[in-house]
Chains A and B, each alone.
Chain A
Amino acid sequence: MRPLMTAVLMALATGALAQEAKVQLKDGPGKDKAAVCVACHSVDYIAMNSRFMTKAGWTASINKMINAFGAPVAKDDVDALATYLADQYGVP
């Protein structure tokens, strides 16, 4: 159900999006694969969940995004994205 009367609250978005733009992902191989994440959420979700997950944990998170939320991550990209997240945001 998507009521027609609703719209994204731009008043919120203008202030918060400017702040959100300051949040940057760390550089590293595979970073480009994470570009898809921002369709649905700010990337501070990633840093917030660091550094305590292994590559297996990050793979499970990616699969949840794909299977539960419909994230358009190509199957061939899952491993590269999980490697990037584990390297930059995983258990040290």
Chain B
Amino acid sequence: MNGVDERLAQRRRLLAGAAGAGTLAALASHPVLGAPVGSTGALGFAEIPDGALSEQVLQSLPGKRPLIKKTYRPPNFETPIEYLRSVITPNDTFFVRWHLAGIPRVDAGQWRLALGGDSLQTPRTYTLDELRKDFAPVEITAVCQCSGNRRGLFVPHVAGVEWGVGAMGNAVWRGVRLKDLLNRSGLKAGAVEIVFNGADTAPLDKTPDFVKSLPVEIALDDNTLIAFAMNGQPLPPLNGFPARLVVPGWTGTYWVKAVVGINAVSTPESNFWMKTAYRLPRGRYPGYAFKSQQAETTEPITTMVTNSLITSLGFGQEVPRGKPLVVKGLAWDGGSGIDRVEVSSDGGDRWQRARLGRDLGRFSFREFEHVVPTRETGAMVVMARATSRSGQTQTDALSHNPAGYHHNVIQRLFVQVV
């Protein structure tokens, strides 16, 4: 076996051990050092597919630090765990996700945002300067998480971009309210959805252009923005320069990048990206009900499920006895805000409330920290469980679905007190 294969085999053995209670002792000799790039086994989760793990590397894109390359074209790059240790994700480490290989290069001076559709009274077009000058600026801190974040952790695996835990980030978005644009043009009574087109294009004419829609109610929400700045800087080209949708609480698929068209329509959008892709079995998961898009057996993914990530520990890590173990991480949900994060250090029998970090708003990451004493040597199973203000929490076991969405299984990290 080559080096990668050996590490993969070792990882599999470790994970097989993680599934059973009787093999904790075997973990002592397998510290997490040397885990392959982007290994989710190294974080106490099921491992991403072997092929994904051996294919991915740290690679720089323009304006970005080295990120975990999932695919080159279209570019899909994941944020490594070390950049998820701060509550705000820097622009140059923010994950990259494109569906179509024609990535737009937009000249801000030439860019136009066109509002129209059969349910808009006065169609009109804005330049970037007009957007900035004509409407009140708004700032909001919000998590942008790809619908498929953690897809690679699904057992059995499902096809798609095999994301680990880093297809997400939290930023301060600045822009204008979509509501203000729509109201200025006048929505007609029959408006059902607002439809968004980005400037990205597919190499083949037959490939459906990337177009997404939102319910009118969400488009008119005070928190839904057309954002042109991220953490005080213009949006990076790979994150949607010069302007993108920001739909706090909703998964990233609705955050259309490099948006150029907004249409108010009286009939539900029926393209592939709405009717076929980004769908869940109907009624299985909590979340906003996108009624105009519900089908008999499926419905679109909408808001994020409550979730957390321990960022301070590695699977199999050795910690010296007597040195308190600091369990730190992030928690987030679909927009009610985090009520509490509880930490267990005994495999889930007893839970204690972690201290929460500063509240940056109900759409933001919320940091948590809990200190666990290490009085005795031996294996310890550390877990974190977030609960939202709406009472939603994380699942003990995976709720499998064909597209690999909404993985919020509680993390189980074995550490070895030595």
Binding site for B on A (CB under 8 A): 1-3, 5-12, 15-17, 19-20, 23, 39-42, 44-45, 47-53, 57, 61, 68-72, 89
Asked whether any CB of chain A lies closer than 8 Å to the CB of B367, the reply is no
* Contacts known (A12-B62, A48-B161, A49-B159); A6 close to B199, Cβ less than 8 A: yes
Q: Which of A1, A6, A39, A41 contacts B74 (CB 8 A)?
A: A41
Cα A69 to Cα B201 in complex, Å, equals 12
Choose among A42, A45, A69 the residue that contacts B207 (Cβ–Cβ < 8 A): A69
Interchain nearest-CB distance for B201 vs A (Å): 5
Query: Considering the complex of A and B, which 8 residue pairs feature the smallest CB-CB distances, nearest first?
Result: A70-B206, A50-B51, A20-B72, A6-B104, A52-B157, A42-B72, A42-B73, A9-B105
Q: Are B261 and A16 in contact (CB under 8 A)?
A: no
What is the CB-to-nearest-CB distance from B59 to chain A, in angstroms, rounded to a whole number? Answer: 6
Interface residues of B in 43-57 (CB under 8 A from A): 49-52, 54-56
Q: In chain B, what residue has the closest Cβ to A46?
A: B51
Q: Which of B20-28, B106-114, B329-337 contacts A (4 or more CB under 8 A)?
A: B106-114
Known: A2-B201, A61-B159. A41 touches B73 (CB 8 A): yes
Residues of B within 8 A of A (CB): 49-52, 54-56, 59-62, 69-75, 101-107, 110-112, 156-157, 159-162, 197, 199-209, 211, 237-238, 258, 260-261, 272, 276
Distance in angstroms from A44 CB to nearest chain B CB is 5
Q: Is A57 touching B159 in the complex (CB atoms < 8 A)? A: yes
Contact B49 A50 (CB under 8 A): yes
A72 to B205 Cα, complex, angstroms: 11
Contact of B105 with A6 in the complex, beta carbons under 8 Å: yes
Chain B residues with CB under 8 Å of A57's CB are 159
Docked pose: A71 CA to B199 CA in angstroms: 21
Which residues of the other chain, A, contact B208 by a CB distance below 8 angstroms?
A: 68-69
Q: Is the CB of B55 within 8 A of A44?
A: yes
Find the residue from B62, B103, B200, B209 having the highest chain A CB count within 10 A: B103
- Chain B residues, Cβ within 8 Å of A68: 208, 272, 276
Contact of A8 (CB < 8 Å), options: B54, B103, B258: B103
B162, A49: Cβ atoms under 8 Å?
A: yes
Residue of B nearest to A16 (CB): B72
On chain A, the residues within 8 Å of B261 by CB distance are 1, 3
Separation of A20 and B49 alpha carbons in the complex (Å)? 20
Q: Is there an interface contact between B49 and A70, defined as CB atoms closer than 8 Å?
A: no
